[in-house]
Amino acid sequence: MKVLPMKIIGFASALAITLAAGSGRAADLPSHKAPPPAYAPPSFVWTGCHAGINAGGGWGQTQWKDTFGNSALLQGDFDGNNAGNTAATDQSGGVIGGQIGCDYQFSGGWVLGVEAKFSGATISSTNVDQFNQNWSLRNNTDWFGTVTGRVGYAPIDPLLIYGRAGFAYADNKAAITNAGFLIGSGALQTRTGWTAGGGFEWAFAPNWSVFLEGNYHNLGGQDDYFPGNAAGAQNPFGAHTRQTFETLTVGANYRVNFFGPAPVAARY
């Protein structure tokens, strides 16, 4: 009666030894797990430098404030002999220019860069006295430029969403006329201030990209002196003017990567 249990114990021991040996041999066999995915380089890299052109429109406003108190300007605004009166001229016009800059793309899609822009413009305004149609205020900006930093993010390789901010400068010419005749003209001045904006840039070829961009420019305030006309019909007077304007432009850039392999066009 004791033979059967001993046989069972012997069989169980042999089975355990066999399973252990098989497990050891299986550990020595090559693994059949799937290999890690191969590294896929980005289809476009924003690192590099660029140059290009842009065009669009601009609009804004120049605020006037009488500082002499003796100017016969807008009735109800600069209404003559009341220092501190104010007026505003709404501006609009076209913009065309160019830009150069450089960017560096970090891992994770973040991009840092610097850029300089310079544009010619026809941003101007004429504000006619609502009570005396002969009187008008004029304001012109013929060119402006910016030097900015920009921070962007590429959610997909060929698309960059970015913001920009920095230094702005522009020319400004203010004048006052009566019945079409120049009464007073301030000196042509270069104003300085700041700008901020942002846009979208799309790389459609290995070295080419297009963009849509909007910017706000604040050129601060300054005092203008108007000497009056030569005939003495208008006494000298002064005004403090403050200028702001916005631009919306489209443009194209040619890009060259000086810091690594040339960018590769997007493939889908």
More confident residue, 232 or 244: 244
The rounded percent of the chain whose pLDDT value lies above 90 is 44
pTM to 2 decimal places: 0.74
The pLDDT score that the predictor gives to residue 258 is 77
Chain centroid offset of residue 128 CA: 34
Taking the C-alpha atoms of residue 176 and residue 226, their distance in angstroms, rounded to an integer, is 9
Per-residue pLDDT tens digits for 72-128: 554 444 444 444 567 778 899 999 999 999 999 998 899 999 999 999 999 988 776
The pLDDT score that the predictor gives to residue 255 is 96
The rounded percent of the chain whose pLDDT value lies above 70 is 62
How long a stretch of residues is the chain? 268
User: Can you list the domains of the chain with their CATH numbers?
Assistant: 52-66+90-256 (2.40.160.20)
Q: How many CB atoms lie within 10 A of CB 52?
A: 19
Per-residue pLDDT tens digits for 134-174: 667 788 899 999 999 999 999 999 999 999 999 999 998 87
Taking the C-alpha atoms of residue 211 and residue 84, their distance in angstroms, rounded to an integer, is 43
CA-nearest of 75, 93, 137 to 245 is 93
**For the chain, where are the E strands, in sequence order?**
48-66, 86-105, 110-128, 135-156, 159-178, 181-185, 189-205, 208-226, 237-256
